[in-house]
Amino acid sequence: MIEVKNIKKSFGDKVVIDDVSAVMQAGQCNLIIGTSGSGKTVLMKCMVGLFEPDDGEILYNGESFTKMNRNEKTEIRKQIGMLFQGSALFDSLTVQENVMFPLNMFTTWPTKKKIERVNEVLDRVNLKDTNKKFPAELSGGMKKRVGIARAIVLNPKYLFCDEPNSGLDPQTSLVIDRLIKEITLEYNITTVVNTHDMNSVMEVGSYVLYMYQGKKEWEGTNKQIIFSKNQRLNEFIFASEFLKDAKEMRMLEETGKMPNDRNIDDMVK
């Protein structure tokens, strides 16, 4: 479990995170959602220690990450895997070398065992026969999958995904979303996903934290989103007419009646 307690972060005069608290549930997919510039990436970077919060605390299983020294933080970081927005694969290394990098750095396994583990995780993300390819030779979706493989190769306890669907087509986005969800449940990882993709919210999210201009605006489950009366959240999630209709169809499924006294025939038209 990861606890975020009253985190504040500013860059110069600009307050980016303003007193945000949340609890990321263990063994589940936790989503941080919000418009661009709402502070979700900064919050995630505070959680993994890439940014130092100005105030507040991050706790991993009750231990204060913010108060730890460098060595203690390193130990926690060894339990963290992260998928970056641009995948952040090492350009000069092949797919196999990229995925093997954490193993080379932190294990004393023989090469054969490392290669077996690399093939195992590459198979898990449905990537075969790409071991000798360089990142420049891969598509966006393949890069993301290599990024996930590298993130899980050391069996982490925590997985952070920063905008896993950015730059991907809807079909590939769905593949990545499902993969993240499957891996979370399969390995019992605490996953935190940063996204503004509506499909991701409905597909993978268990706990959802909605941020607006650096503040926590709403939190709940993805099922509760459908019934939320929060205007900002509704404007963000159900921005188009199509999504509004989808929401109302879902409400109809869940409650058996249409919201706002709308007629189902109006929606079909």
Partner 1 sequence: MTIFRDIGQYLLMLSGMISRPENAKMYWKEFIHQCSEIGIGSVGIVVIISIFMGAVSTVQTAYQLVSPVIPISVIAQVVRDTVILEFAPTLVCIVLAGVVGSKIASELGNMRVSEQIDALEIMGINSKTYLVLPKIVAALVVIPMLVIIAGVLGIWGGRLAGSLTGIVPPATFDQGLLDTFEPFKVIFALYKAYTFAFIISSISAYFGYYVKGGALEIGRASTRAVVISCILILFADYVLAALLL
Dihedral sign, Cα of residue 77, residue 33, residue 25, residue 14: positive
Q: Which stretch binds partner 1 (CB under 8 A): 4-12, 31-39, 96-104, 116-124?
A: 96-104
Please, is 231 exposed, middle or buried when counting C-beta atoms within 10 Å of its C-beta (0-12, 13-18, 19+)?
A: exposed
Under the binding rule (CB under 8 A), the answer on residue 102 touching partner 1 is yes
Under the binding rule (CB under 8 A), the answer on residue 105 touching partner 1 is yes
Under the binding rule (CB under 8 A), the answer on residue 208 touching partner 1 is no
Alpha carbons 125 and 128: distance in angstroms, whole number: 9
Beta bridge partners of 195: 33
Residue of the chain from 25, 61, 66, 85 that contacts partner 1 (CB under 8 A):
85
Under the binding rule (CB under 8 A), the answer on residue 82 touching partner 1 is yes
Q: Which stretch binds partner 1 (CB under 8 A): 60-68, 84-92, 118-126, 185-193?
A: 84-92
First CA to last CA distance, the chain: 46
Q: Which stretch binds partner 1 (CB under 8 A): 101-109, 118-126, 165-173, 234-242?
A: 101-109
Alpha carbons 7 and 58: distance in angstroms, whole number: 8
Under the binding rule (CB under 8 A), the answer on residue 13 touching partner 1 is no
Q: Is 176 helix (H, G, I), strand (E, B) or coil?
A: helix
Whose Cβ is closer to partner 1: residue 115's or residue 258's? 115
Under the binding rule (CB under 8 A), the answer on residue 179 touching partner 1 is no
CB of 33 to partner 1, least distance (A): 21
Beta strand 2-11 pairing with 55-60:
antiparallel
Residues making up the chain, counted from first to last? 269
Tokens matching residue 62: 């009750």
Under the binding rule (CB under 8 A), the answer on residue 175 touching partner 1 is no
Tokens matching residue 65: 């990450």
| Cβ atoms of 123 and 87 closer than 8 Å | no
| Cβ atoms of 91 and 59 closer than 8 Å | no
Under the binding rule (CB under 8 A), the answer on residue 244 touching partner 1 is no
Whose Cβ is closer to partner 1: residue 20's or residue 48's? 48
CB of 104 to partner 1, least distance (A): 6
CB of 1 to partner 1, least distance (A): 19
CB of 229 to partner 1, least distance (A): 38
Please, is 176 exposed, middle or buried when counting C-beta atoms within 10 Å of its C-beta (0-12, 13-18, 19+)?
A: buried
The identity of residue 116, as a single letter, is: E
Under the binding rule (CB under 8 A), the answer on residue 52 touching partner 1 is no
CB of 201 to partner 1, least distance (A): 24
Q: How far is CA 151 from each of CA 8, 79, 81, 158, rounded to the nearest angstrom?
A: 28, 10, 4, 9
Site string for partner 1, 19-48 (x = CB under 8 A): --------------------------x--x
Under the binding rule (CB under 8 A), the answer on residue 11 touching partner 1 is no
Under DSSP, the state recorded for 25 is: P
Residues that bind partner 1 (CB under 8 A): 45, 48-50, 73-75, 77-78, 80-82, 84-86, 88-91, 101-102, 104-106, 160
